[in-house]
Amino acid sequence: MTPGDISFLIIAIAILALVLFIGYFLVQLSATLNSVTQDVKLIAHDADDLLINTNDLLKDVNGKMITLDPVFQAAGDLGTSVSELNASAQKIKEKAGKKKSGLGSNLGTAVTTASMLFNLKNKNKQKGTKGDKK
């Protein structure tokens, strides 16, 4: 064997080793890609289920919100009515305070007395409620 034949044999063995290494690498890469593909399919399926459940939940919440809207509207209207009633009572009280005698004075005294009685009733009611909880 000449030195050229030996060098040719070494190059052939090196190329064969390189081809085998590249083949092994490609087989491993293919297996990894198959595993990743299966995982992505599983995640996509789970995501679809999650989106379906989320849409159902959102429809349910929207339906309940539509049901509750009138309740909140009524509560807002009640608050407005109470504010208007309070403002009217304040105006009557102010008018009663300006007039020292006659019906206006008596009306102001009546409003003040009614307000005090109402507050006293609420305090007694709260005390009774606290006693029931014990």
- Nearest CA to 116 out of 127, 105, 108, 128 is that of 108
Q: What is the pTM of this model?
A: 0.42
pLDDT given at position 115 = 81
The phi and psi torsions of 66 (rounded to 5 degrees) equal: -65, -40
Residues 63, 76, 88, CA angle at the centre, nearest 5°?
165
Task: Give CA–CA dist 65/71, Å, rounded.
Answer: 10
Task: Give CA–CA dist 64/56, Å, rounded.
Answer: 12
Residues of the chain with pLDDT under 50: 133-134
pLDDT given at position 96 = 72
Task: Give CA–CA dist 70/30, Å, rounded.
Answer: 61
Q: Domain-by-domain residue ranges, the chain?
A: 7-99
